[in-house]
Structure 1
C-alpha cells in the first residue's frame, strides 16, 4: 500500500514490456536509486531474521559515503528476530512506513506503527517481532557508533512523528521545516534521522556543501533536486545517496507536499 504520508510500495517485478530507460545513476558524488529499481530480485535475506527480506539501499563504500548502511525491511506476520544486529558497535535508527510490530528493548515492549521512530544505542539488546496479520515495512539505518572518551552513550528513544515538533527553517514562513526525532543539541548522538518537509513552491535557496553524508528517501510528493552539477526529478519511493561535500539544493514544485527521510552523521571530529 502507499500511505498518504509514507511511501511503502516496494517490490514486485516490472513487466517484460517495460522500457529499460531509468533515472538510476551512480556517480562519484551521489547516486539515485529510483523506486522502480527496488524490485523483488534485488532483496537480501539476513541471518537470524525470520520471514523477512531487505532492500539494502546503501552501505559504507570507501571514497564515497562511509558512515552508514540503510535498509528497507519487510517483515511478514510471525516474522522477526531475537538477534537482529550482528555488530556490537552499531547503533540503530528505525522509522516505520507501514504496518505494526514490536521492539523489545531492555525488557520492555515498544509497539510500532506507521510513523514510529526508534533509536537503539550501540551494544543495546533488542528484539523485533511482527505479531500482526499484515507485513510491516520500516527503514533501518545502521551506523558504527563513534565513542568519545568522557562522553556517555546516548539513551534509547522511542517516539512517533505525531509526538514531535516540526521546526520551520528561519525566514521561510513555515514552507521548509524539519521534524527531529533526536535532540539536535545532545552531542551524545552521532547521527540524526529527520523528516524534512517542503510545501509546494519551497526551495533550498543555496547549494548546500558540507561534511555530512546523506541518505534521502522520499516519503511523499515530488520535486527536482540539485545533486552536484545535475538537476534530478525525484518522487515518493526514490532514494538519493550523497557523499560528503556533494553540493545539493531542492525545488519543490508541487502540487502537494514534498517530504523525505534524511540521515546525516553529526557531532564528531573527523578521523585523521
Structure 2
C-alpha cells in the first residue's frame, strides 16, 4: 500500500500568524485530538529509546478510558531501542504509518515497512531499530494483559495491512469492512487492533453504545462522527479517544475511502472491583 494512504505527523510549529482556534476537545465521554495538535512542543522522550520522540495520544485515566495507552513513535535513522517495554505485563501492537524499521522478536528479525503490523505478547523480548535513511513513524498501542487460568497466552506475529482481507459488515454491500488481524473467536486475546474501512458514503447506521473503550486514529479520508450528542468532522491524522458506552456513529465523506486504526478491549469479564 502506498505511503500516501497513511497519515503520519511531521511535527513543526504553526506560524506566529496562525489562528489559535482548532477542533481539539476533551469531554466526559470523548476526546478529539486533531492532527494540528501534533507539534514539536507536545512530544515526549522515553527511557532507553535512542533518537526517538513520541506523541502520546491516550493513557489510562481514572474516570475515563482506563485500559490502554497509544503512542505515535518517530524514530530517526539509527535510532531505536534494545529495551523498549518497561512493563513485563504489557502487550503491544505496532503499526507503521511511514518509513521502515527492523523489529526483532525473540532474536528473529522482521522487516516492518509502511503498513506493517506486529502483535507483541506480554513478556516477550523485542527490539526496534531504524536501519534506513529516513525517519520511521509508527503507532504503539499498549495494554496490560489479563491472563485467564486455562487459556494459553497468544504468540507474537508480524503481518501487513495488504495481507489481511477486509471482512464486509453484514448488509452493507462492502461499504463498511474491517481488517481483523486476530480471529475474534480466539479468547486468548483481550484486545483487538483492527483497521476499519468505509467507502465514500458508507456509514455506521446507528449509535453504537458498548462497553469497549476505543482509540481511533484516522489513517485516510474524512468523515462526520456522532459522538455522545455532538457531530464532529474528522480527517486523516485526527485521533478520537472514546470512553466506554460513548454513543458513536459516522458518515464517510469522499472522494477517497475513510480508514482508521481501531483499538478495543475484548473477551474478558467485567471487573467488579473499582480500579
Could you tell me the TM-score, scaled by structure 2's length? 0.97
Is 1:174 the counterpart of 2:160? The answer is no
Structure 2: runs of 5+ lacking an equivalent: none
Other-structure match for 2:58 = 58
Cα deviation for residue 4 of structure 1 reads 2.3
Cα deviation for residue 106 of structure 1 reads 1.1
Which SS does the other structure have where 2:4 is aligned? Answer: coil
Cα deviation for residue 172 of structure 1 reads 0.3
Cα deviation for residue 240 of structure 1 reads 0.2
Structure 1: runs of 5+ lacking an equivalent: none
Contact 2:9 2:38 in 1 (8 A): no
Superposition RMSD in Å: 0.9
Contact 1:71 1:139 in 2 (8 A): yes
Other-structure match for 1:247 = 247
Taking the aligned partners of 1:79 and 1:181, their CA distance within structure 2 comes to: 28
Other-structure match for 1:234 = 234
Deviations 1:19-65 (Å, cap 9, x if unpaired)?
01111000000000000000000000000000000000100001100
Other-structure match for 1:185 = 185
Taking the aligned partners of 2:227 and 2:74, their CA distance within structure 1 comes to: 29
Deviations 1:191-235 (Å, cap 9, x if unpaired)?
011110000111100000000000000000111001000000000
Taking the aligned partners of 1:199 and 1:76, their CA distance within structure 2 comes to: 34
Moved over 4 A (4+): none
Other-structure match for 1:196 = 196
Is 1:257 the counterpart of 2:260? The answer is no
Other-structure match for 2:145 = 145
Contact 2:191 2:265 in 1 (8 A): yes
Which SS does the other structure have where 2:5 is aligned? Answer: coil
Other-structure match for 2:17 = 17
Taking the aligned partners of 2:36 and 2:253, their CA distance within structure 1 comes to: 22
Could you tell me the TM-score, scaled by structure 1's length? 0.98
Which SS does the other structure have where 1:83 is aligned? Answer: coil
